[in-house]
Chain A
Amino acid sequence: MTATALPDDIAPDEREPSRSVWAEFRRGLAAMAPILLGVTPFALVLGSQAAMKGLSPLEVALMCGLNFAGGSEFVAIELWRSPPQIALIAGMTLLVNCRHLLMGASFAPHLRRLRPWQAALVLFVMADETWALGMDDARRRMAVTGRPGISLPYYAGLAVSLYIAWVAVTVLGAVVGPVLGNPHAYGFDMAFTAVFLVLIRGMWKGWRRALPWPVSLGVAAVTHLAVPGAWYVPAGTLAGLAVAYFVAGTETREAAP
Chain B
Amino acid sequence: MSDFARYFALDVPSLLAILAMMAVTYATRVTGYLVLRNRTLSPRATAVLEAVPGAVLISVIAPAFTTTNPADLLGLAVTLAMACRFPMLPTVIVGVAVTALLRHML
CB neighbours (8 Å) of A219 from chain B are: 59
Interface residues of A in 204-257 (CB under 8 A from B): 209-210, 212-213, 216-217, 219-221, 224-225, 232-237, 239-241, 243-245, 247-249, 251-252
User: Do A188 and B96 contact each other (CB < 8 Å), given the known contacts A86-B20, A104-B33?
Assistant: yes
- B32, B35, B55 — most chain A CB neighbours (10 Å): B55
A216 and B33 contact, CB distance less than 8 A: no
CB<8 Å pairs between A and B, sample of 30: A37-B92, A58-B8, A58-B10, A62-B18, A86-B13, A97-B29, A103-B29, A104-B29, A105-B52, A106-B53, A128-B60, A188-B96, A190-B64, A190-B96, A191-B95, A195-B88, A195-B92, A197-B80, A198-B87, A212-B54, A212-B55, A219-B59, A221-B66, A232-B63, A236-B62, A237-B52, A240-B55, A241-B55, A245-B47, A248-B44
Q: A residues engaging B (CB < 8 A)?
A: 31, 33-35, 37-38, 55-59, 62-63, 66-69, 72-73, 76, 80, 83-84, 86, 89-90, 93-94, 97-109, 111-112, 119-120, 123-124, 126, 128, 132, 135, 175, 185-201, 203, 209-210, 212-213, 216-217, 219-221, 224-225, 232-237, 239-241, 243-245, 247-249, 251-252
